[in-house]
Structure formats: structure tokens, C-alpha cells
Amino acid sequence: MKVLANDGVSQSGIDALEKAGFEVITTKVAQEQLINYINEHEITVILVRSATKVRKDIIDACPSLKVIGRGGVGMDNIDVAYAREKGLHVINTPAASSASVAELVFAHLYGGVRFLHDANRNMPLEGDSKFKELKKAYGSGVELRGKTLGVIGFGRIGQEAAKIAIGVGMNVVACDPFVEKASIGIDFFDGQRLDFEINTVSFDEVLGQADFITLHVPAQKEYVIGKEQFDKMKDGVGIVNAARGGVIDEVALVQALDTGKVAFAGLDVFEKEPTPEVQLLMQPKLSLTPHIGAATGEAQDRIGEELATQIISILKTENV
């Protein structure tokens, strides 16, 4: 049986699949050529991340497909319900990259409160001629310790962000319509473990109480954060979106940055990927990364191994 890892898969995942007798193909096939490629090569499993879309046209036109795998959490690039109606297995790896995304959130937060994203632009250009001026410009940083982190969406990734926040010494407030409370367990290097129970509050309470906000919600039809929500936040709030493009109104965000309502923001995802709006790219109060939340070696190994385990379990069981 053949597995097409169209958006790539870790070597550990490849090794596990090949050991189980699968042929793994890592050729990158263009979206418009996928149907022909899958049929010509009799692909049984297609693995994707966020780039490749598996819609009804592929599902209907490719009878050899039995499994669609998404390396990561969100499956908005797959017609999941339709695929399952047609008898295909649709799998993902919701927990594998949670820690990596949460760490990126804090990379943006730490960079934002100490102006690292802007200092790293200007020091190479003017560090030798305007050192004192830059020192003064970046000399009003703040600490995360003692501040309140608002977590919008309190699933796996939101809870991982809460773990880091607690370790930093932050207060955590969270909202999620599907989570009433969560037990946050933190494991330490010496084997000790501490558990913290966090009860979720209303969306408006998070907006009003948080010094910094991080979003961990799936793709939405409407903005989660727009002008109305920015108006409810504290002046000088910091906000990070490493969830999905389109959950923040980017026009309203730029306006809030311009007025100082939002002190800084970190974006790993954008409404118009892979061509973000130039107003975002040129905004000095924005810390920007190109959708790399899950892009760590450790996360990719976990994703590949977890996909391999599920594929082997599904297809080997069916062929018994």
C-alpha cells in the first residue's frame, strides 16, 4: 500500500510506515494534479498539513483512497464529514504539536514586551550609529511575571499555554464554551508535579481582565476579535494569534495598534496566507512568523509517529 505525504512527514514516521510494509512517497504534487497522481499511483493514504486541500472532488475521483491524515490539529482543509460518509478514515494528531505552538506564543510574548522583533530589525541597520537612541527606545519593557494571560479557547494548546504562564508566574483567565474547568498539571525536572485547577469564565471577562491575550480556536465564519472586542480590552494589551488566520479582524488590529489600544501583537497565521497584507508586514508593533507553530523537530517526530501508528492500526486491521 502506498502513502503520499504531500506536505511532508518526519523520517521517524516514514521509518515506522516502511517497517510495517507501506511505501511512502514524499513527492510534492500540485493541488490541480493530485487526482491524476493518486489514481495513477493507486495511493491508499494521503497525508497533508495545512497546504494541501482534500475536498469532495478528490474524495469522489480517487477510489483507491482509504485514509486521509492531517499532521496537526485543525482539519478545515479537509471535507471531513463528506469523507467519512464515503467510508474513508480521517485522522489527525491533535496533541502532538500543542507544546510547540504554546512555546511559540511565549516567544512572541517575550519578544513583544522587550521589543525584540523591532530591535532585531534596527540593530543591524543602526546599532553602530544610534546605539544610545535605540537603547532609549527599547528601554521601557515590562515583565510577564505577575500579569494576567487571557486564553481564548481552552483545549489542548490553550492549556499548554496556561502551563507556561503558570510557570512564569502569571495569572491565567480562560474562556471556552465547551470547557467548564481544566486541571493543569506541571511536571518538573526533579520528578515533582503540581496540579492547578482553572475554571473558565465568560469571553467578556477574559477581554476585560487580561494584560495579554492568546487565541486557540478553530477557523470561524466570523471574527472572534474585532473592533468591538478590542474596545473591551485594557489599554496597552498584547495579543498573539497562533491559531488560524481569520479569527482576528486584521484591519481592526492595525487600527488598534496605531492608536495604542494594543501595545503589540504576534501573528503566526494570517487571513491571506501565503501572501499576508503589506500593512501587517510593515507594522513595527507586529511580531511576525510564517505559520511555524508546529514546526519543531520534536513536534514533527511526534506527528509522524502518531500518524503512522493510526494508519497501521486502521489498514492492518482491515486486512486481517
Separation CA 109–CA 273 (nearest Å): 22
Among 165, 167, 158, which Cα is nearest to 193's?
167
d(CA 87, CA 224): 34
**What are the residue numbers of the active site?**
244, 273, 291
DSSP string, 251-275: HHHHHHHHHTSEEEEEES--TTTTS
Q: Which residue has the cell 514524499?
A: 26
State the Cα–Cα distance between residues 236 and 109, nearest whole angstrom: 13
Q: Give the separation between CA 17 and CA 241, rounded to whole angstroms.
A: 34
Output b/e per residue, 280-299; b: 16+ Cβ within 10 A. Answer: beebebbbebebebbbbeeb
Query: Please, which residues have CB within 8 angstroms of residue 52's CB and are 6 or more apart in sequence?
Result: 6, 7, 31, 34, 46, 77
